[in-house]
Amino acid sequence: MKHVLKIFSLLLVISALWIGLLQASILPQSHTWLLPIYFIVSLGCYGLLMVGVGLMRFPTCPQEALLLQQDIAEAKGFLKQSGVDVGCK
């Protein structure tokens, strides 16, 4: 099934549940009408939270830059000896 169809079916199920709640009057009508808004806002907040947490825990590797420089020096040394042109750019 195409991915977008999966998302549509999910939204359809959620809408059906919402309409069911409206009709069954388990919760006060005024609250039920606002449920979609709550849902969208919670989704937005969850997204922002994920971005924030991910940003805080973003993996960095400063030591890799140093290791890379060492590798470059080693490579340049070998290649120069072997006759490959690695002249400074």
Partner 1 sequence: MEQKNKYSIIVPTYNERLNIALIVYLIFKHLRSRDVDFEIIVVDDGSPDGTQEVVKQLQKLYGEDHILLRPRPKKLGLGTAYIHGLKHASGNFVVIMDADLSHHPKYLPSFIKKQLETGASIVTGTRYSKGGGVHGWNLMRKLTSRGANVLAQTLLWPGVSDLTGSFRLYRKSVLEDVISSCVSKGYVFQMEMIVRASREGYHIEEVPITFVDRVFGSSKLGGSEIVEYLKGLVYLLVTT
Q: Would you tell me which residues interact with partner 1 (CB under 8 A)?
A: 2-4, 7, 47, 50-51, 54-55, 58-62, 64-65, 68, 71-72, 75-76, 78-79, 82-86, 89
Q: How far is the CB of 83 from partner 1 (least distance, A)?
A: 7
Q: Tell me if residue 89 falls in helix, strand or coil.
A: coil
- Closer to partner 1 at the Cβ: 12 or 50? 50
Q: How many residues does the chain have?
A: 89
- Closer to partner 1 at the Cβ: 38 or 46? 46
Please, is 30 exposed, middle or buried when counting C-beta atoms within 10 Å of its C-beta (0-12, 13-18, 19+)?
A: exposed
